[in-house]
Structure 1
């Protein structure tokens, strides 16, 4: 099944390190969802997605092997219950594709650190996100972090 990366895993180089057997298939838009932050990470609120009919999120679709899926579950703390997998549909140039994303199992709200926001924006840029998406992402409120 396809994994829709929206956070730091959107960076193809990072995904190649974490999941070397799971190639990038395409990029697209997760319609009806928005990127937000919540919970309490060690350096600010954590990235997550919430349903919102008026929004969309740029994602990379990776064809993830079973072994790499287990690795991702560890990286994303899904095995501890911090994030959960949610099935979604992504709009791509080749039509809609089914897949899954990790969604934070905590409250929405809070402000990410500048470091976290920078990592997300750099990952989106590396994956080919459009300029207007990058400008919006980089202009979000953030804390100075650690």
Structure 2
């Protein structure tokens, strides 16, 4: 079986949620996506995290080893290919147990860029914050994403 590595930056940082959605997935490490920023965008059903290019910014991520079945479950959850699309990224992943850094080919879901900016629900934000705390990520990334997305949603009206 060929291993695939998925990188999560939003609600799929939430370990309990991922265990339910993708029971075979294993956390392998953490990394950062350079020159991308975190934003909240969405649809009538709500606003969710996505990433978009921005020089000098970065987004903390967790890397999961997933099976074909896990990836299919993620495709359904992410609304692939209608809501989110997938792209490949090569990233240095710092091992959870070993601390060693290894380059890995990963895939990530990115929301279609034409979606409007918005503010997330309290539930979604709490889910993401729990994930951030589990991995020891700086919560400022999430708070900045809300500020930017709120400002952009008002500017676009």
Q: Are 2:107 and 1:105 equivalent residues in the alignment? A: no
Cα gap change, 1:54 to 1:109, in 2 (>3 Å): farther
Equivalent residue number for residue 83 of structure 1:
84
| 1:138 match | 143
> Contact (CA 8 Å) 1:22, 1:68: kept in 2 or not?
yes
Match of 2:25 in 1: 22
Quick check: which has more Rg, 1 or 2? Answer: 2
Contact 2:14 2:134 in 1 (8 A): yes
Task: Confirm whether residue 2 of structure 1 aligns to residue 9 of structure 2.
Answer: no
CA contact (8 A) 2:90 2:105 kept: yes
| C-alpha distance in 2 between matches for 1:64 and 1:14 | 14
Report the count of equivalent residues: 138
- TM-score after normalising by structure 2: 0.77
By percentage of residues, which structure has more helix?
A: 2
Post-superposition CA distance 1:3-34 (Å, at most 9, x none): 00111001122111111111011011111211
Alignment gaps of 5+ in structure 1: none
